[in-house]
Amino acid sequence: MDGTTGWAKVSSTAVRDGDGGFLYAVRVVEDISDRKRAEARQKLLVDELNHRVKNTLMTVQALAFQTFRQGLPPEMARERFEARLISLSRTHNLLNESHWQGARLKDILTLELDPYTSDGKDRLAASGPNLELPARTAVVLGMVFHELATNAVKYGCFSVPEGRLEVRWRVTPSEADPETLSIEWIERNGPPAERPRRTGFGCRLIQQAAVRELGGRADIHYEASGLFASLAIPLEAYARCGLVRDAA
């Protein structure tokens, strides 16, 4: 015996003579450890699925509330809501490929920007280390990238043929945390970025997601050369959530 614990099922059947007297018992001991482990895995999967469905429904509810409360024309509100749901589903599909273990930052970025950068004009420059993010972080960053890309299409670098976008990320020391994931979104060759008269839902989503969901911060700057956005995400907390840093 090596000290390993397991599960066993014991069945006992009495054998009797012709008058019904007890002769002996036949006992069968069956190792059901594999079955019990499979049942435990199944329960874990169901609990995880329930958790994810609940989180997804809460996210959809928040998107719907924020989109339709802005007083936009119904058709415009519907189009924006559908676009945000499609963005959410794209990230979910990416996570399904890894069985919701996580997704690489570059893959999330490419997935969100592909509709605007696949024309062969080399409009995107992306650089940074290979980082695999936990599922929840991947979903939030997917929505952040979607909002930034949508704004770039309407008002920024993707609204003109010569516009270009650079996205770069790095892991750097920080005074508030030993390591911080810094992401910079830099638009060039597009119209000057003008500060809106009122803060729209997209901007609020980016900043609130950075603080509430990612535990960091987001800064958006409106410059003559184009919009510049930066996100800072502390990595100490994310190590507990499964953030994998891959230097390959």
Contacts of 36 (CB under 8 A, 6+ apart): 6, 7
Question: How far is the C-alpha of 141 from the C-alpha of 218, rounded, in Å?
Answer: 12
CB 232 within 8 Å of CB 216? yes
| Cross-strand partners of 22 | 16
Least Cα distance to 190 among 158, 154, 166, 220 occurs for 158
CB 114 within 8 Å of CB 63? no
Q: What is the dihedral of CA 111, 232, 64, 91, to 10 degrees?
A: 20
Please indicate, yes or no, whether the overall pTM of this predicted structure exceeds 0.85. no
Report the relative pairing of strands 130-133 and 244-246 from DSSP bridges.
Answer: antiparallel
Question: How far is the C-alpha of 79 from the C-alpha of 81, rounded, in Å?
Answer: 5
Question: How far is the C-alpha of 152 from the C-alpha of 160, rounded, in Å?
Answer: 10
Q: Where are the domains of the chain?
A: 84-246
The one-digit pLDDT tens for each residue of the chain (248 residues) are 566 788 888 888 888 988 888 888 888 888 888 888 888 777 765 665 565 566 666 666 666 766 676 677 888 777 877 777 777 777 777 777 767 778 889 999 988 888 777 666 688 999 999 888 888 888 888 888 988 988 888 889 988 989 999 999 998 875 655 688 999 999 999 999 988 887 776 787 788 878 887 888 899 999 999 999 999 988 764 543 444 454 33
Q: Which CATH architecture has domain 84-246?
A: 2-Layer Sandwich (3.30)
The three-state secondary structure class of 22 is: strand
